[in-house]
Amino acid sequence: MLSLTGLFAGCAFYRVGGSGLETVSMVAEVAQGWEQRLYPNSLRESIELGRTSEEFLRGDPEMLWLVSRELNALAYGHAPDDSEELYSLAYEIGFRCLAGNAGWLGRLDNSGGAVTVAGVERLTEADVPCMEQLVFSWVRLIEHRGFYSYIDIPEVAFLVDRLLEISPDRWVGYWGKGMIAGFQADPLSEVEIYMDLAYEQEPTLATSTADYLRISGGYPQSDLIVTPAEKFREREFLVNEGQEWSLENQRAVRTLFEP
């Protein structure tokens, strides 16, 4: 299993306090927004802190990853009126987050900013956290913007395929494949396969299951392998505060059952 802690061990700076030299981690401070993401104001404050930090301005990949992750959490988990704007910002920061990979950046420049197979082949395991946030925000942007943005699907599909090559034991790549299959009106069985694989990698997270059920609503009922109620009932997703995915699971429930 890929360790984000191992990839992003923390970027600390030092200041002299009353008790002598102290280590102060801006990254750790910004990361508190993620821990408090049930509260939208905490997320917004943390995002603003991160975006005005020295680390963010100089392009530190860990800080960029943290801010993009919190933007995605705010946009998806709380669905505010400015969700599309938040996803768009996370998407832009996702590309900045990958800019430290010179091979990827060179290929991106050569293609005029287009994501290509040759470009994604330069991405490595160290790029996975940034890739995941870019894929999540890009797919949600396509979902928000609708049919006219489907022109982006081939490019995000290149990223998703590379993500699965590098990290087949993480959920975002499979979820991305399932969402793309839904956008393209591929057989519902294909959507379900990828969403189930996403669920298997993160079985306490309801996002992939909820998205499958929502996508299935656009297909004839005869195509459903199980009904939405059965699919959701057989999986236990915890929503109470203190659970790892409480915000995301609350959002999934609202998506499925609110008018």
Q: Give the integer Cα–Cα distance in Å for 46 and 41.
A: 8
Average pLDDT over residues 54-76: 96
Q: What's the token pair of residue 77?
A: 């988990």
Q: What is the mean pLDDT of residues 231-237?
A: 78
Give the orientation angle of helix 128-145 with respect to helix 171-183, to 10 degrees.
Answer: 20
The pLDDT tens digits for 14-44 are 334 443 333 348 899 999 999 999 999 999 9
Query: What band does 228 get if pLDDT is binned at 50, 70 and 90?
Result: low
pLDDT of amino acid 127: 97
pLDDT average, residue stretch 171-179: 98
> What rounded mean pLDDT belongs to the chain?
87
Are 97 and 91 spatial neighbours (Cβ–Cβ below 8 Å)?
Answer: no
| pLDDT for res 216 | 86
- Asked if residues 131 and 97 have their Cβ atoms less than 8 Å apart, the reply is no
pLDDT, tens only, 183-223 = 999 999 999 999 999 999 999 999 999 999 889 888 776 56
Distance CA 205, CA 155 (A): 26
In three state form, how does the secondary structure of the chain look? CCCHHHHCCCCCEEEEECCEEEEECHHHHHHHHHHCCCCHHHHHHHHHHHHCCHHHHCCCHHHHHHHHHHHHHHHHHHCCCCHHHHHHHHHHHHHHHHCCCHHHHHHHHHCCCCCCHHHHCCCCHHHHHHHHHHHHHHHHHHHHHCHHHHHHHHHHHHHHHHHHHHCCCCHHHHHHHHHHHHHCCCCHHHHHHHHHHHHHHCCCCCHHHHHHHHHHCCCCHHHCCCCHHHHHHCCCCCCCCCCCCHHHHHHHHHHHHCC
pLDDT digits (tens, 9 = 90+) for 100-149: 999 999 999 999 999 999 999 999 999 999 999 999 999 999 999 998 89
Q: How sure is the predictor about 253, in pLDDT bands with cuts at 50, 70 and 90?
A: confident
